[in-house]
Amino acid sequence: MLLAEKTAEKKIIFSGMQPTGIPSLGNYLGALKNWVSLQDEYRCIYCVVDMHALTIRQDPAALRAKARELLALCLAMGIDPEKSLLYFQSHVPGHAELAWILNCFTYMGELNRMTQYKDKSLKHADNVNAGLFTYPVLMAADILLYGADLVPIGDDQRQHLELCRDIAIRFNHMYGDVFPVPEAYYGKVGARIMSLQEPEKKMSKSESENPNNVVYLLDRPDTVLSKFKKAVTDSGSEVRFDPDKPGISNLLTIYAAVTGADAAQAEREFAGSGYSDFKRRVGEAVVESLRPIQTRFDALIRDKEALDGLIKTHAERANALAGRMLRKVKKKIGYPI
């Protein structure tokens, strides 16, 4: 049986991440850590969506390196290649082929309403390309190509998933029950990690203005400790969760997430601590939580032959699985067979 093939017991989950940089601690604690826990309950398909990354101009060598690093990091975080599919989107031509077909079942008005297209068009006004406009159709193809039942999403992807569902329903209405209509997956809510320098903003891997805002998964111990030493705190001296103490609350959230403590435990542990000692100890906890991931990553990225072998094997498995749906779609729409 192919990895991620649907069984009577387990539904298929599809999720992807762009290789636009090393994931942040916020990405990991908010989403990627949950990818690991989903593997035992679902058939998981995890994709490095390097095709989506082309809507923004990329340096070819850097894109190739970042895609490889992201895939290796997923393995280092605990994605089990015996349980889940993990592959590069560009290694499965079916994504592009199905996207073209689905473009012909998607209306211009639907794409014009996508708020993310409007936002990115303003942000990248010098490069408003057709790929940016049809990005949601490629996303729909990603999901429908594998007959995914569930898609983990954040608030910024709700509109895209709704369009995917509309396309699937429209296609099924014309040709029968071809695609499962995917549902949003709202599982265990990961920790919402905010910027270390601007705790009113979410920590983002794309942060470039101030590198001290973000902890990246491959930041080395000295760098991590330095960033936490410089982290913004609040007035007063008490370490506690409080809406009026966003900096302290964010650091407590991080500490609880990496140690497994609950909010009350975290507060008790730092009762009487000064801010300097508190920030140091949070930084040390983060260093220890990242250490095994970084150790595994370093070994994986050095073993080029083993990593290349895994990439090749999973691309073959993904192509075989995608091919089943693509053949079904081609037959339905009337392509010669």
Among the listed residues 120, 227, 245, 279, the single catalytic one is 120
Domain annotation covers residue 197: no
Q: Domain of 141? A: 12-187+304-333
Residue 289 maps to which CATH number? 1.10.240.10
Same domain, 117 and 249: no
User: What is residue 5's predicted lDDT score, i.e. its pLDDT?
Assistant: 60
Question: What percentage of the chain has pLDDT greater than the value 70?
Answer: 95
Per-residue 3-state assignment (H helix, E strand, C coil) for the chain:
CCCCCCCCCCCEEEEEECCCCCCEHHHHHHHHHHHHHHCCCCEEEEEECCCHHHHCCCCHHHHHHHHHHHHHHHHHHCCCCCCCEEEEHHHCCHHHHHHHHHHCCCCHHHHHCCHHHHHHHHHCHHHCCHHHHHHHHHHHHHHHCCCCCEEECCHHHHHHHHHHHHHHHHHHHHHCCCCCCCEEECCCCCCCCECCCCCCCECCCCCCCCHHHCCECCCCHHHHHHHHHCCCCCCCCCCCCCCCCHHHHHHHHHHHHHHCCCHHHHHHHCCCCCHHHHHHHHHHHHHHHHHHHHHHHHHHHHCHHHHHHHHHHHHHHHHHHHHHHHHHHHHHHCCCC
Among the listed residues 202, 328, 330, 332, the single catalytic one is 202
Same domain, 149 and 269: no
Read off the tokens for 143: 């999901």
Among the listed residues 6, 205, 227, 279, the single catalytic one is 205
Assess whether 118 carries a catalytic annotation.
Answer: no
Q: Count how many domains the chain has.
A: 2
User: What is residue 6's predicted lDDT score, i.e. its pLDDT?
Assistant: 56
Assess whether 331 carries a catalytic annotation.
Answer: no
User: What is residue 207's predicted lDDT score, i.e. its pLDDT?
Assistant: 57
User: What is residue 118's predicted lDDT score, i.e. its pLDDT?
Assistant: 73
Same domain, 102 and 217: no
Assess whether 205 carries a catalytic annotation.
Answer: yes
Same domain, 262 and 179: no
Same domain, 260 and 215: yes
User: What is residue 129's predicted lDDT score, i.e. its pLDDT?
Assistant: 84
How many beta carbons lie within 10 A of that of residue 259, not counting itself?
16
Domain annotation covers residue 203: no
**pLDDT, mean over the chain:** 91
Where the chain has pLDDT below 70, the residues are 1-8, 155, 187-190, 206-208
Rounded to two decimals, the pTM is 0.89
User: What is residue 1's predicted lDDT score, i.e. its pLDDT?
Assistant: 54
Same domain, 249 and 154: no
